[in-house]
Structure 1
Amino acid sequence: MSDKQTDFQKITNDDMYRSIYENSPDLFRTININGEIINCNKSYFETLGYLKSEVIGKTIFDHTSEESLSQMRETFEEWKKGGCVSNSEIWLKKKNGDKFLALLSANNLFDKYGTLIGSNTSIRDITEITAMKKEFKNLKRIRQEIMGELSIRVAHDLKNPLNVIKNSVQLIQFRKEPSTENYSNTLTRIEHAVIRMDHQINEVLEFVNPLPLDLQQNSLKKILENVINEMPIPEEFIVTIPTNDIMINCDQRKIEIILRNLVLNAIQAMGEKGSIIITTNETESHVKILVKDTGPGIPHKLRFKIFDPLFTTRQIGTGLGLPICKTVIEQHGGSISFETELEKGTTFTISLP
C-alpha cells in the first residue's frame, strides 16, 4: 500500500470516528489523566444542560452527583493505576440540579510510549430502564406473594381430606377378603392417585414457601432406600441403587424430594418399561449422585427449558419438579446438570459439597 493510500485510510478512519463521537445519541466525554474534561459530544453537554465551552476544563467530579462522589473517586484512582471502567453505574447531575443514573464504560488512551494519558468514556442514561426493572421486580414479587398465599391455602385445604381418604383406603385394605382381586386393584389405584395428589401439593408448597435447610449428617444409602421403598414403582421398571454408603451433610427431607422427582420423571419419560440406575461417588470436596434412565432422551428444543418453573410436556404434573430440584441443590451449595442422548436416555448429575 502506498503512503498516499495509507494517509487517505487514516484520514477516513479519523473522520469516521469523529463522526460517530460527535453524532452518537450516547453521551461521550474525553478526559486527561487528571480527570479534566478536554472534549465532549453534543449529546453530553446538551443532556447536562451546558454549553460545550462550559464543560471543557471541568472535572468528572463536577458532573457527579453527591451520592456517587465517593464511588467515582475510587473508580478514578483504580483507573489511574491501569484499571478499566466497564458498565459502572454512577449518578450524574445536570446544571439545573436534576440527576440521572448513568452507565459508564471507558476506552483508555495511551501515548506512543504506552503511558496512560486519558480515556474516552461512553455514557448512557439508564434511569428509565432501571425504574422499569425495579417496577417489574416489584410486580413479580407481588405476584409471587399472591400465588404463594393462594397455593398454601389450597394445599392445606386439600391435605386434610386426602389424609382421610388415604387412611380409609388403608383401613379397608386391612379388613378386605383376600379373594377380591378387583377390589384390591381399585383400592391400589385410589391410593396411588392420593399419593400423586399429595406429591403435587408438596411440590407447590416447597416452591412457593421453601423451609430453611435442616442440615444433618445422613446416610445416602438410607435416603435412596427410603425414596425407592415409598414410591409406587410399576413392576415394568427396574431401579438399581448403590450398595456402598456415603455420609453427607444435607436436609434429608429435601434430598428425598429431589431424588423422588428425578426417579418419577425418569419413569414418566420411559413410558411402558425401562431401567433406572442410581450411582454415587465421593471426591475430596464433593459427593455426586447420578440418576440414569433408558428413556428417549430430551429433545434439543426443550433442553434449555427443563429447569423453568411450570414448564412441563405432560398433561398432569405441576411443572415444578426440576425447578425445585435446582433450587434445593443450590440451597445446599451444590449444582445439578444433565447429559442426554436421543433414543438412549438421560443422566442427571447432582453435586453436593
Structure 2
Amino acid sequence: MIAIIGAIKDILLQISAASFFLFLFQWWLEQNRLTRRNGKFPDDQSFLIIACALSLALCSMLSTTLFDVAYLNLGILPAFIGILYGNFRSGLSLGAFFLFCNLLFSEPAGLSNLLLNSAILLYPLLYSLAAPFKNGTVMEKIGMLWMALFPSMLFIMLVPILNGKNPYQAHSAETLLLTLYLFLTIGLGGALVYVVEMTWDRLQKKEQLKGISEKFQWESEKLQQITNVMPLSVMSLDEDGVITGLNEYMLSSIQHHFPGLTRGDIISQPALPFFGNRLESVSLQKLVHSIETKQRHSEKLVIDTRTYHVYSAPLLNQISGVPGGAVLIVQDTTEEEKLRSELDNVERLTLVGQMAAGITHEIRNPMAVVRGFLQLMQEKSSSELDSYYQIVMEELDRANSIINDFLSLAQSRITDKEEVLLHNIIEDLGPLLWADANLRGQSVELKLPPSLPLLQLNVREIKQLILNLGRNAMEAMGDKGVLTLELRSVPGRVEMTVRDTGSGIPETQRDKLFVPFYTTKSQGTGLGLSLCLSIVERHNGTIQVESEEGKGTTFIISFPCGQEEMGTFALAE
C-alpha cells in the first residue's frame, strides 16, 4: 500500500511538472507581451518552446521509476507538444534537449532504454506531423499528438519486459496503476493541447475585440468630428426626452440663448427648456408630440427673435428594432429669413423703380412740348411777362434735370468701358471746374501724378461723377474756398480724392449722404450723391467719406486696376 501511495504521489508530481509550461505560458499571455496571433506565431512560439524546455527539464529532474521497473518521466508531453507547435529548428533543438535529459536521468541505463524512453525513433513522425498540425482543428491536433504519444508510451511500458521483468500480473494494484498511468498520460497530452488552443483562441478574440473596440472608438470620434463641422445643430435624446449628446453648433446655439452654460451643464438635462418655455405654442406642441410618438416631424420655431427649422426623427436599435430615443436637427434660418424678406423688398422696389423710370421718361415729352409753346407765347407776349415766362421755364428745366438724374440712378445696365487715364479726364474737365470756381470766388487745385495705371472706365459717367462731387464741394464752400482734386496710385487700385475747405458734414448726417432724395440744400434733389455711388459701384469701386466740422470734407474714390471684376462693392465712412 505504501508503494502504491508513493507511486501516486510521483505521478501527480510529474503531472504538475509536465503542466508547468502551460501555467507559465498563460502567465506570459496575461502580461500582454505577445503580439496578435498571426499565421506563424513568431513571438508566442518562441516563448512556448522555452516554457516546454523548462517543464521538460523539471520533469526529468523529478523523474523516477514506478515500482522500480517502469521509468516515470512525463517530460515527453512538453517535448512532443513543443516539437509540434514549433518550427523545424526549434523542434530539433527541443528533441535534442529531451534526449540529453534522458541520457542524464533515464533509468535503467542502457542504449535500448535510452532509445525507448526518449522516443527518438518517433521523431521523424513528429517532424512530419508538425506542418499539418499547425493548420488542423483542435481535435485533429489532439489526434496527431496521440499518433506519436501512444506508441511512445507503449514502448516505455514495455521496457521492463525487455529487461526480463513482468510487472503486469493479472488483478494486481501495480498493473492497474501502470495501465492508468499509460492512459492518463495520453489523456493529459490531449488536455494540454486543448488548453493551449483555448488560450490562443482567447488571446485572438481578445485582440479582435480590442481591435473592434478601437475601430468603434475611432468611428465614434470621426462621426463626432463630422457632426461638429456640419453647419447644423444636432442633439440626441433618450426615451424620456433627456439630452444624451450634442455637437458644437448646437452648443453654440444654446449658449446664444443661455450664456455661461457648458456641455456638462446641458448633458443629462431635459431638452424642452432649451427651446423656450412656450408649451402653449402650437409649433412646440407639435414637436413635443412627434418626439413622444416616435415620428418624423419638421417644424419652424421662433425663439427670442431668431427663427429655427427643427427636424426630429426617432432612433432605432438596429439589433432589437426597439426605439432608442430621438435626434433633433436644428438649422438657424434667421439670416436666410432676413435675406428672403430683403429680396422680396428688392423685387418690389425694382418693380416700382422700373415703373417710375418709365413714367418719368414719358413725362419729359409733354414737358418739352410745354416748354416749346411757352417760348412761342413769350415771343408773342409783351416784355412785361418775360420774367414770369423765365421762372416757369427754369422750373421746367429744373424738373427735367431731376428726371435725368433719376433715370441715371435707376439704370442697371452694364456700362461700356474703355482703357483710359483718369488724370486725362480730370484735365479735360479742368477749364469747366475753374470757370465755375471763378464765378464763386474760389480756386481749384489739381494734384495729378505724371504716370498712373490704365483703368477700365466709362468716360461719360466718370465726368458726371467728378462734376457732381466738384460742384457739391463748391456749394459747400464760401469765398476763397479751395477745391482740391488729387490722384494717387496704391497697390491694386487708383484713388481719387475730392477735398473742400467748407464747413464739413455733421456726423449725424453722414449715414444718410447716399440715401436717395436726402438733401440738406434748399434747392437740392437728393439724387446727386446717390448717382455718384451708383456710378462708382458700376465701376467696382468704393467711396470713403472723411469730414470734420469747420475744416471741410474729403471724398476718396477708389478704382481697381486691371480688367478683373472685384465682385463686391463697399461704402465706407
Answer yes or no: is the 8 Å Cα contact 1:298–1:346 preserved in 2.
Answer: yes
- 3-state DSSP class of the match of 1:213? coil
Please give the per-residue CA displacement for 1:304-336, whole angstroms capped at 9, x wherever unaligned. Answer: 110111110112222111111112111111101
Q: 1:217 deviation in Å?
A: 1.3
Q: For residues 126 and 336 of structure 1, what CA distance do their matches in structure 2 show? A: 27
Residue 366 (structure 2) pairs with residue 151 (structure 1): no
Shift of the 285–123 alpha-carbon distance from structure 1 to 2, 3 Å rule, reads closer
Please give the per-residue CA displacement for 1:170-202, whole angstroms capped at 9, x wherever unaligned. Answer: xxxxxxxxxxxxxxxxxxx9x999997775443
Answer yes or no: is the 8 Å Cα contact 1:217–1:249 preserved in 2.
Answer: yes
Residue 292 (structure 2) pairs with residue 53 (structure 1): yes
Shift of the 293–128 alpha-carbon distance from structure 1 to 2, 3 Å rule, reads closer
Query: Pick from 549, 555, 571: which aligns with 1:342?
Result: 549
Q: Which residue of structure 1 lines up, in the alignment, with residue 243 of structure 2? A: none
Please give the per-residue CA displacement for 1:90-116, whole angstroms capped at 9, x wherever unaligned. Answer: 69699xxxxxxxxxxxxxxxxxxxxxx
Q: Which amino acid aligns with 2:502?
A: G
Deviating more after overlay: 143-152 vs 260-269: 143-152
Q: Which residue of structure 2 lines up, in the alignment, with residue 21 of structure 1? A: 274
- 3-state DSSP class of the match of 1:241? strand
Shift of the 146–193 alpha-carbon distance from structure 1 to 2, 3 Å rule, reads closer
Residue 471 (structure 2) pairs with residue 269 (structure 1): no
Answer yes or no: is the 8 Å Cα contact 1:207–1:324 preserved in 2.
Answer: yes
Q: Which residue of structure 2 lines up, in the alignment, with residue 233 of structure 1? A: 436
Q: 1:141 deviation in Å?
A: 2.8
Q: For residues 134 and 351 of structure 1, what CA distance do their matches in structure 2 show? A: 28
Identical residues among aligned pairs (%): 23
Shift of the 252–199 alpha-carbon distance from structure 1 to 2, 3 Å rule, reads farther
Shift of the 243–335 alpha-carbon distance from structure 1 to 2, 3 Å rule, reads closer
Q: Which residue of structure 1 lines up, in the alignment, with residue 409 of structure 2? A: 207
- 3-state DSSP class of the match of 2:419? strand
Q: Which has the higher contact order (CA 8 A, sep 6+)?
A: 1
Q: Which amino acid aligns with 2:349?
A: K
Residue 449 (structure 2) pairs with residue 223 (structure 1): no
Please give the per-residue CA displacement for 1:80-135, whole angstroms capped at 9, x wherever unaligned. Answer: xxxxxxx99869699xxxxxxxxxxxxxxxxxxxxxxx988476799997886565
Q: For residues 546 and 334 of structure 2, what CA distance do their matches in structure 1 show? A: 43
Q: Which residue of structure 1 lines up, in the alignment, with residue 460 of structure 2? A: 253
Please give the per-residue CA displacement for 1:18-75, whole angstroms capped at 9, x wherever unaligned. Answer: 774264349xxxxxxxxxxxxxx986552458343124xx6xxx4459xxxxxxxxxx
Answer yes or no: is the 8 Å Cα contact 1:22–1:42 preserved in 2.
Answer: no
Shift of the 264–17 alpha-carbon distance from structure 1 to 2, 3 Å rule, reads farther
Shift of the 228–306 alpha-carbon distance from structure 1 to 2, 3 Å rule, reads same
Q: Which amino acid aligns with 2:274?
A: Y
Q: 1:153 deviation in Å?
A: 2.3
Answer yes or no: is the 8 Å Cα contact 1:297–1:342 preserved in 2.
Answer: yes
- 3-state DSSP class of the match of 1:214? coil
Q: For residues 355 and 370 of structure 2, what CA distance do their matches in structure 1 show? A: 24
Q: For residues 425 and 496 of structure 2, what CA distance do their matches in structure 1 show? A: 12
Q: 1:226 deviation in Å?
A: 2.9
Q: For residues 311 and 293 of structure 1, what CA distance do their matches in structure 2 show? A: 21
Shift of the 267–157 alpha-carbon distance from structure 1 to 2, 3 Å rule, reads farther
Greater fraction of residues in strand: 1
Q: 1:142 deviation in Å?
A: 2.9
Q: 1:265 deviation in Å?
A: 0.8
Q: Which runs of 5+ in 1 are unaligned?
A: 1-8, 27-40, 66-86, 95-117, 167-188
Greater fraction of residues in helix: 2
Matches within 5 A, 1:62-141: 62-63=296-297, 121=330, 136-141=345-350
Q: Which amino acid aligns with 1:53?
A: E
Q: For residues 269 and 330 of structure 1, what CA distance do their matches in structure 2 show? A: 25
Answer yes or no: is the 8 Å Cα contact 1:238–1:274 preserved in 2.
Answer: yes
Bigger Rg over Cα: 2
Count of aligned pairs between the two proteins: 258
Q: For residues 196 and 228 of structure 1, what CA distance do their matches in structure 2 show? A: 25
Q: For residues 431 and 365 of structure 2, what CA distance do their matches in structure 1 show? A: 26
Q: Which amino acid aligns with 2:357?
A: G
Residue 449 (structure 2) pairs with residue 244 (structure 1): yes
Q: Which residue of structure 2 lines up, in the alignment, with residue 173 of structure 1? A: none
Q: Which residue of structure 1 lines up, in the alignment, with residue 523 of structure 2? A: 316
Query: Pick from 473, 491, 504: which aligns with 1:284?
Result: 491
Shift of the 213–161 alpha-carbon distance from structure 1 to 2, 3 Å rule, reads farther
Q: For residues 344 and 88 of structure 1, what CA distance do their matches in structure 2 show? A: 47
Shift of the 162–221 alpha-carbon distance from structure 1 to 2, 3 Å rule, reads farther
Q: Which amino acid aligns with 2:362?
A: R
Q: Which amino acid aligns with 1:319?
A: G
Q: For residues 21 and 261 of structure 1, what CA distance do their matches in structure 2 show? A: 56
Shift of the 290–21 alpha-carbon distance from structure 1 to 2, 3 Å rule, reads same
Deviating more after overlay: 210-219 vs 223-232: 223-232
Shift of the 200–127 alpha-carbon distance from structure 1 to 2, 3 Å rule, reads closer
- 3-state DSSP class of the match of 1:227? helix
- 3-state DSSP class of the match of 2:447? coil
Q: For residues 257 and 200 of structure 1, what CA distance do their matches in structure 2 show? A: 14
Shift of the 158–17 alpha-carbon distance from structure 1 to 2, 3 Å rule, reads farther
Q: 1:149 deviation in Å?
A: 1.2
Residue 538 (structure 2) pairs with residue 326 (structure 1): no
- 3-state DSSP class of the match of 2:289? coil
- 3-state DSSP class of the match of 1:310? coil
What TM-score does the superposition give when structure 2 sets the normalisation length? 0.38
Deviating more after overlay: 17-26 vs 236-245: 17-26
Shift of the 230–154 alpha-carbon distance from structure 1 to 2, 3 Å rule, reads farther
Shift of the 52–314 alpha-carbon distance from structure 1 to 2, 3 Å rule, reads same
Q: Which residue of structure 1 lines up, in the alignment, with residue 322 of structure 2? A: none
